[in-house]
Amino acid sequence: MLLKNKTAVVTGAGSGIGKELVLALLEKGVKIIAVDLRDDSLGELKKIISESESKLTTHHLDISDKSAVEKLSREITEVDILINDAGIIQPFVKINDLDFATINKVMDVNFYGTLFMTKAFLPHLLKRKEGYIVNVSSMGGFLPVPGQSVYGASKAAVKLFTEGLYAELLDTNVSVSVVFPGATATNISKNSGIEAPKVGSGKNYKTLPASEAAKQIIIGIEKNKPQIFLGSDSKLMNLLYRLSPIYAIKLIAKQMKSLLLK
C-alpha cells in the first residue's frame, strides 16, 4: 500500500508502539485519527506533534465499549487504514491465581476491542479504493507464556480472527496483516496497572525499541505482508515452536519461572 494521503485510525495511540506508529505515519503524509483510553497520553501526543495538528485528531475511547466504538465509526467514515494496537497484559501469575474480573478485562480489551473496531470500520474500508487492517497480536499469541496465559489466549484469538479475516477478504480491496511483537520496550505494564517482575541476576533482556517496532510494521503494510514478526525473539520462537512445540514450551517455561509473582 502507498501510504501518502491515506487516513488511518490507530488505537493505543497515546504510548508505546501506537504512539510511534502515529509519529512515523505522519511523516509519511498519513492523516491520523488517534484513539486511546487515556486523555493524558493523547494530550502529550498532541504536544509532541503540534506542527502536524492539521493531520491529527485525537479521540478518547474505550475500545471494549461496543456502543462507543460504533458511535465513533458513524462520525468517522473516510478511513483507509485501521491499526488495532491497543492492549493490556495480566498480572504475572498462574491461571489458578487469576480472578475472573481480570480475565474478563483482558479478553474485553484485547479480543473484543479488536473485534468491535474491525466490525465497525470494515464497511468503510470496503468502500475505499484500497483498505488495510493491521491487528497486533503477540509472540504470546502463538507460544504459551506461563504467567501470561490468559493474555496469550486473548492474543491467540486475535491471531486466528485476523487470519480468518485475511482469508475472507482475499478477493476484496482490503488487505490484512497480523503482528507478533516479541519483547518490546513499552509501558504496557504501567498502562495495564500491573506490577512488572524484575529480570533476575542482573541480566539484561534485550527489548526492541517501540520506534523500531513501528518502523517494521509500516514496512509490512507497504509490502502487504500478512504476518509481521517483530524482534529476533519472536522470529526465533516462531521457528522453534513450529519445529519442536514441546521443547519451545519447556524453554519459555524455564525462562519465565523466576518472573512469576508469588
pLDDT of amino acid 255 = 83
112 is catalytic: no
The pLDDT value recorded for residue 166 is 98
pLDDT recorded at residue 205: 63
Half-sphere exposure of 222 (CA within 13 A, CB side): 13
For residue 243, what pLDDT is reported? 97
Q: Residue 1 domain-assigned?
A: no
Task: Give the whole-angstrom CA distance, residue 222 versus residue 55.
Answer: 20
> What pLDDT score was predicted for residue 188?
76
Q: Which residue has the higher pLDDT, 224 or 49?
A: 224
Q: CB within 8 A of 228, min separation 6: which ones? A: 177, 178, 179, 180, 216, 217, 220
How confident is the prediction for the chain on average, in pLDDT? 92
Q: What is the CA radius of gyration of the chain?
A: 18
Q: Let me know if residue 2 belongs to a domain.
A: no
Assigned domain for 195 exists: yes
Whole-number Å distance between alpha carbons of 118 and 84? 8
pLDDT single digits (tens) 70-99: 999 999 999 999 999 999 999 999 999 999
Which of 116-120, 186-190, 196-200 reaches the highest mean pLDDT? Answer: 116-120
Q: Which residue segment(s) compose the domain that 68 sits in?
A: 7-259
- 3-state SS assignment for residue 137: coil
Band of pLDDT at residue 261, cut at 50, 70 and 90: low
Q: Which three cell numbers stand for residue 227?
A: 504476518
Confidence band, pLDDT 50/70/90 cuts, at residue 136: very high
Residue 54 or residue 234, greater confidence: 234
Q: What distance in Å separates the CA atoms of residue 163 and residue 132, rounded to the nearest whole number?
A: 14
Q: How confident is the model at residue 195 (pLDDT cuts 50, 70, 90)?
A: low
Question: Looking at 132, 151, 166, 241, which residue is catalytic?
Answer: 151
pTM of the model: 0.92
Residue 157 lies in a domain: yes
> 193 versus 68: which is more confidently predicted?
68
How many domains, in total, are found in the chain?
Answer: 1
CATH of the domain at 110: 3.40.50.720
